[in-house]
């Protein structure tokens, strides 16, 4: 029965590759959906701020931080998709793509966290920043 073992491994590898491809597609779709949902929520927040006549740097900063948070979440999904792709077919292009997404995600998260802390301290110091 030595001939059945290689065919079993081949079927298993093909099934694993198919599963990985499906998982990557799901993660990429979640990434796109997150960007779209974040855009819609951000536009709604901007519209509400405009209708309430809350214009200025604080309102703009809040809208920017909202969208930045959604983008960071989308990059998390994209990073997951790239990890799956790289683990199943580790080509040089996949490794570069994974590295680029990881660097962008890390930088975005660092700057987003810094901006969130600055906004929180600004709101706690200014009386008009309180809800």
pLDDT 10s digits, 15-73: 888 999 999 999 999 999 999 999 999 999 999 888 877 666 678 888 888 898 898 89
- pTM, entire model: 0.73
Determine the structural domain holding residue 17 and report its residue range.
4-129
Instruction: Compute the distance between CA of residue 98 and CA of residue 107 in angstroms, rounded to an integer.
Output: 14
Q: Based on the structure, what is the number of domains in the chain? A: 1
Contacts of 76 (CB under 8 A, 6+ apart): 105
- The position carrying tokens 């949902």 is 37
Q: Which DSSP category does 128 fall into?
A: G
């Amino acid at each position: 029965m030595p001939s059945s073992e290689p065919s079993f491994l081949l079927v298993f590898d093909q099934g694993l590759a198919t599963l990985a491809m499906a998982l990557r597609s799901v993660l990429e779709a979640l990434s796109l959906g997150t960007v779209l949902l974040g855009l819609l929520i951000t536009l709604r927040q901007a519209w509400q701020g405009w209708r309430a006549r809350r214009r200025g740097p604080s309102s703009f900063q809040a809208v920017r931080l909202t969208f930045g948070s959604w983008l960071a979440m989308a990059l998390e999904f994209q990073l997951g998709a790239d990890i799956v792709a790289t683990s199943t077919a580790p080509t040089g292009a996949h490794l570069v793509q994974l590295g680029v997404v990881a660097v962008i995600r890390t930088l975005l998260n660092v700057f987003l966290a810094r901006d969130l802390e600055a906004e929180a301290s600004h709101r706690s110091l200014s009386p008009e920043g309180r809800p």
